[in-house]
């Protein structure tokens, strides 16, 4: 017998498995490239990732993967985040303005 919780956790686990490598790719790209090649939104995200990274660094080698996992675990919250942030009175998350931004052009090239 498969219960509905098992189904839900299966969906959640596949979401994490799907999201984690994408976050890892994106973060390793935006934190290693020259910020000049990024748009304002991605530069903000880069600063955020690096600031958070310092918190995780105290955990040593497990810190980096853990940071990605924590982000991936909440993949199902992503569609609600803009509304949640508005409700909390916080500014919207920076998003990529596309165009000539490196994070945008390199994901398009890979796809």
Q: Which residues would be at the binding site for Zn ion (CB under 5 A)?
A: 39, 42, 96, 101, 103
Contact (CB, 8 A) for 71 and 23: yes
Nearer to Zn ion, 37 or 52 (CB): 37
Q: How far is the CB of 27 from Zn ion (least distance, A)?
A: 13
The DSSP 8-state label assigned to residue 35 in this structure reads G
Q: How far is the CB of 40 from Zn ion (least distance, A)?
A: 8
**Sign, CA torsion 49/98/104/99:** negative
Nearer to Zn ion, 23 or 69 (CB): 23
**If we measure between CA atoms, which residue out of 31, 44, 36, 28 comes closest to residue 100?**
36
Q: How far is the CB of 30 from Zn ion (least distance, A)?
A: 8
Nearer to Zn ion, 49 or 101 (CB): 101
Contact (CB, 8 A) for 35 and 43: yes
């Amino acid at each position: 017998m498969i219960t509905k919780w098992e189904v839900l956790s299966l969906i959640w686990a596949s979401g994490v498995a799907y999201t984690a490598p994408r976050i890892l790719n994106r973060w390793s790209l935006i934190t290693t490239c020259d910020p000049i090649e990024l748009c304002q939104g991605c530069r903000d995200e880069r600063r955020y990732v690096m600031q958070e990274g310092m918190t995780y660094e105290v955990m040593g080698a497990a810190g980096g993967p853990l940071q990605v996992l924590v982000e991936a675990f909440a993949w199902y919250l992503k569609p609600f985040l803009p509304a949640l942030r508005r409700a909390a009175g916080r500014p919207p998350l920076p998003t990529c303005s596309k165009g000539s931004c490196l994070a945008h052009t390199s994901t398009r090239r890979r796809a």
